[in-house]
Amino acid sequence: MVKVLVVDDFGPWCRQICSMLQKLAELQIVGEASDGLEAVQRARELQPDLILLDVGLPGINGIEVARRIRESSPWTKILFVSEDSSPEVAEAALGTGARGFVVKSDAGTELLPAVEAVLRGERFISASLSS
């Protein structure tokens, strides 16, 4: 089983992501976090294999969260799922060592393929960003 931590400050969106992830039998959602500091703490506690991480979090933003998680858990794969569709933000996010970036408006079609790609060790970037 692949242990997954979902980090997003908007509860309904977090539930929607969890619902989508349940379609992949090999995934087990082991926790959720709604702000940056909680995300770092939960990542240390749970040692997930994959973290779905929002950029715009209260406290510390997702990019800083990814940097901190990299220090304590360098093997954990990170996939950003963000409202922000700025190429600069995506580049900064991927610069943390994250393997993917999905724009939330594209998540309906791209989230599961992105998760599968990241778990295979491949990079995934939303089509709306790569054009």
Q: What is the pLDDT of residues 44-63, one digit of tens each?
A: 999 999 999 999 999 999 99
What pLDDT score was predicted for residue 97?
96
- Express each pLDDT in 34-48 by its tens digit: 999 999 999 999 999
CA-derived radius of gyration, the chain = 13
